[in-house]
A and B are shown apart, each in its own frame.
Chain A
Amino acid sequence: ETGVTQTPRHLVMGMTNKKSLKCEQHLGHNAMYWYKQSAKKPLELMFVYNFKEQTENNSVPSRFSPECPNSSHLFLHLHTLQPEDSALYLCASSQETDQETQYFGPGTRLLVL
């Protein structure tokens, strides 16, 4: 276990649904990240939060909405997703954002029907 937990581990949703992914880190880190991993594609960074402030949004569609209420918790709110959004969504954390090692959670396997 890396000290980063994610729930749910698996999620199936329709295109009109609204759901949220949750990430919690127990490492005392200050930076948290959302990544998307699709088959046969590299890991794609979606969002970065440093001390609860969003510092990066990598041109992610607005149907993905992050929320970081504190340095230990990170959410990804999902609405009106498309089938091509089906992927493994990974949360990671690091002590700071400057070249620090990132530790990954187990991921949420999302299927959009």
Chain B
Amino acid sequence: QKEVEQNSGPLSVPEGAIASLNCTYSDRGSQSFFWYRQYSGKSPELIMFIYSNGDKEDGRFTAQLNKASQYVSLLIRDSQPSDSATYLCAVAGAGSYQLTFGKGTKLSVIP
């Protein structure tokens, strides 16, 4: 059974701070990693994907992947109240279309 674990939160950070969201996965063969943001009552929207170990930056967002530790994280710099949402981590195996999602971490950015 492939599992993706996330702390459900809520994670509260002050406006302007760095929010750090973490995700661990059980399938060592996993190859692709995605972060989705989901506002309350809305559908998930893709923020970033990462395939290789290390960091990937896109604007205020940085995804970090450590396959040896089976760990992927998302950093949000200069957090804004509009970043308040649930962040879903999703993982896919090699050659697989099947995304396994975590339950999500609820982030609250306090003005």
Interface residues of A (CB under 8 A from B): 2, 31, 33, 40-43, 45, 48, 50, 55-56, 88, 90, 94, 96-107
How far, in Å, is A86 (CB) from chain B's closest CB? 15
- The distance in angstroms between the C-alpha atoms of A84 and B99, with both chains bound, is 23
- The distance in angstroms between the C-alpha atoms of A31 and B45, with both chains bound, is 17
Q: Which of B43, B98, B102 has its CB near the most chain A CB atoms (within 10 A)?
A: B43
The residue that A103 contacts in the complex, of B4, B42, B46, with Cβ under 8 A, is B46
Is B74 interfacial (CB 8 A cutoff)? Answer: no
Q: Is the interface of A mostly helix, strand, loop or mixed?
A: loop
Please tell me the size bucket of the interface on B.
Answer: 20 to 34
Instruction: Say whether, besides A90-B43, A105-B43, A107-B43, A43 and B98 are in contact (CB < 8 Å).
Output: no
User: Nearest residue in B to A33 (C-beta to C-beta)?
Assistant: B97
